[in-house]
Amino acid sequence: MNLKARILLLTAAIFVAAALAGWLAMRALTMGIIEEWAERRVRIQVLYHKSRALEPLLRELALARQMARAPAIIDWAREPDNPQYRAEALTELESYRESFREHSYFLALADSGRYYHNNAKNEFAGAELRYILDAAKDNDRWFFELLRQKHEVQVNVEPKEKVDTTNVWINALVRDGERVLGVAGTGLDLANFIQGILDSDERGVTSLFIDTAGAIQLHKSEALIDYAPLTKKVAERKTIFDLLDSDDDRANLRNAMAELQGNRQTSVIPRITIAGKSYLAGMTALPEIGWYEITLLDLDVLLPLNRFAGITLVFMLSMLVALALLALALNRLILRPLERLNEAMAEVAGGKPPPADLARLGLGEMRVAMTHFTEMANTVLASRSELEEKVRERTADLERLSRTDPMTGLLNRRGMTEQIAGAISRAHREQHSIGVLWVDVDWFKEINDRHGHATGDEALKAITALIQACIRPYDHGARWGGDEFLILLSPIDTVHLDVVGVRIRKAVADYADLVDEAGRPVKLSVSIGGHLLQPGDDLDSLLNSADQALYTAKSAGRNCYRRLPAPSENLAG
């Protein structure tokens, strides 16, 4: 063999060895990038699907909860045979029907089992009573199961044959204190809901929703959905675990659910195999409705290795020209852009925008990939920012609703309890005193009975306005009960506590602008009990003392103000 042949053979051997080594190195680097990209992509994708699911559900949940707490509906649920209450409640239900996304509502009463419903076409106007629920019938068991569980709100997917629809049902309990009077809510059309949330033109991405037992609640294949889970035995339910190939995958998924339930992570990435196909799974919890969202990525579809065939071919052809030039070209055209892409992924994962020059790196498919990544990253960051803002807004709204009385705009019992507890702590710490005034509307039941509940509501609003006019901007008023108000004054002393108590009593007694629907004047008065915080007082003792003072005022003939510890002192003014 001559020298030329040997050189050619050696060159061929070096080419083959270098090409093989280069191909193996590139494959390892590419797989690492794909794995890292896929993990970040699935985290972003699962949060995106979560936001798309929560946005319509949170609005409907808030409306359903508000409808279940409407005074007109609660009054009717207490007295379902009262025609006036029935008319007022149906009017209230109709107003909510127009607000719901599907323009439909239902109300089921616990005592009688009566099921009321009207749909978007208003087909059942005047005939809202659709049927009577029966605990012995399988189709009605959902209602009695909800009454038994006593969850404030619940979301389930279930067909209802008697109203001829399959919906994502949003249920809210109608309560009178601890007593459950019924269930009210609305439904979202299952097909529309799936189309709006789960349908995607992107191949290789599949999303589904499961409950805490693993039962499939939403899937683009409706045949896999576990309908009516409330009324099924465990063995009858369609779960995600039935689709998995191995016990290890089932254990990994259960562990992921447990981690999310414990709020230790926002999402987890277990590897799972379904029908012999491996998926990268992103998972996150939806605690507002008791579900989990799972996004499955098929990497063989989303980013197959054959997309890098062109780069490999360029590499091999370049090796025929010169191994040295190939190394230089590879570093400039491939390795450096990939490194910048990896750095950009890390920056995007940390919440930063991708570098401005990223889309200008590389050539051909690499530049297209860089451009696509830049566009995708900017879109995802914008979506995440918008989602975070919406979550903050929803959280603030829900927090405000949970602490505010809807009729008067004052704090409710919960909100005032938190205010008083904080004021007591500050008062003991800063060595100043606080006072409370317990206000009870005199003969409020007689006002309702004689002039009507609408006039009674106006009376409460008028007294609210008078109270706010008599206290300082930094004091707090609350509607403590049906016809009771509680006022927190901080800081305050005995003299000024008495002055405010007398001022409120006189302002209410002098108020003459309230008339009923017939034009008859309605006279108002209040009984007020006051108490100044004493050393050693806690929340209960402060409220008990104010309550005793109120009892003293009512025993003295009402329309007066009393303060402990001098119950015999008449400060009515």
Q: What share of the chain in percent tops pLDDT 70?
A: 81
| Side-by-side strand order, sheet with 271-274 | 216-219, 205-211, 291-297, 277-286, 271-274
74 token code pair: 């609660």
Query: Could you state, in order of their start, the residue ranges of all structural domains in the chain?
Result: 3-37+304-401, 69-192, 198-302, 413-563
Distances from the Cα of 37 to the Cαs of 9, 308, 563, in angstroms?
A: 41, 15, 70
Residue carrying the six token digits 């949940």: 61
- Yes or no: say if 407 and 457 are a contact pair by the CB < 8 Å rule: yes
| Cβ neighbour number for residue 11 with a 10 Å cutoff | 13
CA atoms within 13 A on the CB side of 128: 22
390 token code pair: 């919406």
Q: How much is the average pLDDT of 458-484?
A: 93
| Cβ neighbour number for residue 561 with a 10 Å cutoff | 30
Residue carrying the six token digits 């279940």: 68
Report the pLDDT value the prediction gives residue 435, as an integer from 0 to 100.
Answer: 94
Average pLDDT, the chain: 82
CATH topology of domain 198-302: Beta-Lactamase (3.30.450)
Q: Enter the DSSP assignment of 334.
A: I
Sign of CA dihedral 133, 137, 142, 145: positive
The top-level CATH class assigned to 69-192 is: alpha beta
Highest mean pLDDT among 157-171, 271-285, 496-510: 496-510
Report the pLDDT value the prediction gives residue 570, as an integer from 0 to 100.
Answer: 45
261 pLDDT above the threshold of 90 = no
> Which pLDDT tens digit goes with each residue over 396-454?
555 666 788 989 989 999 999 999 999 999 998 888 899 999 999 999 999 999 999 99
> Which pLDDT tens digit goes with each residue over 178-213?
999 999 999 888 777 777 666 555 677 888 888 888
567 pLDDT above the threshold of 50 = no
Q: How much is the average pLDDT of 371-389?
A: 76
Peptide bond into 491 cis (omega under 30): yes
Query: Higher confidence at residue 502 or residue 295?
Result: 502
Q: If we measure between CA atoms, which residue out of 29, 553, 573, 567 comes closest to residue 331?
A: 29
Q: How much is the average pLDDT of 452-477?
A: 93
- Yes or no: say if 168 and 187 are a contact pair by the CB < 8 Å rule: yes
Helix-helix angle 83-99:3-68, to 10 degrees: 160
Q: How much is the average pLDDT of 347-369?
A: 76
65: alpha, beta or left? (left if phi > 0; alpha if psi -120 to 50):
alpha
Q: Do domains 198-302 and 413-563 have the same CATH topology?
A: no
pTM of the model: 0.44
Report the pLDDT value the prediction gives residue 572, as an integer from 0 to 100.
Answer: 42
Helix-helix angle 3-68:323-330, to 10 degrees: 10
- Yes or no: say if 149 and 136 are a contact pair by the CB < 8 Å rule: no
> Which pLDDT tens digit goes with each residue over 107-143?
999 999 999 999 999 999 999 999 999 988 888 888 9
Q: What share of the chain in percent tops pLDDT 90?
A: 37
- Yes or no: say if 212 and 257 are a contact pair by the CB < 8 Å rule: yes
- Yes or no: say if 402 and 411 are a contact pair by the CB < 8 Å rule: no
CA distance 159 to 246: 32
The top-level CATH class assigned to 413-563 is: alpha beta
13 pLDDT above the threshold of 90 = no
CA distance 41 to 47: 10
Could you tell me the pLDDT band of residue 172, with boundaries at 50, 70 and 90?
very high
Provide the b/e sequence for 480-503 (b: ≥16 CB within 10 Å): beebbbbbbbbbbeeeebbebbbb
566 pLDDT above the threshold of 50 = no
> Which pLDDT tens digit goes with each residue over 26-73?
666 665 666 666 667 767 766 776 777 677 788 888 999 999 999 999
Cβ-proximal residues to 550 (8 Å cutoff; 6+ apart), any chain: 438, 439, 440, 527, 528, 529, 562
208, with CB counted inside 10 A (0-12, 13-18, 19+), is: buried
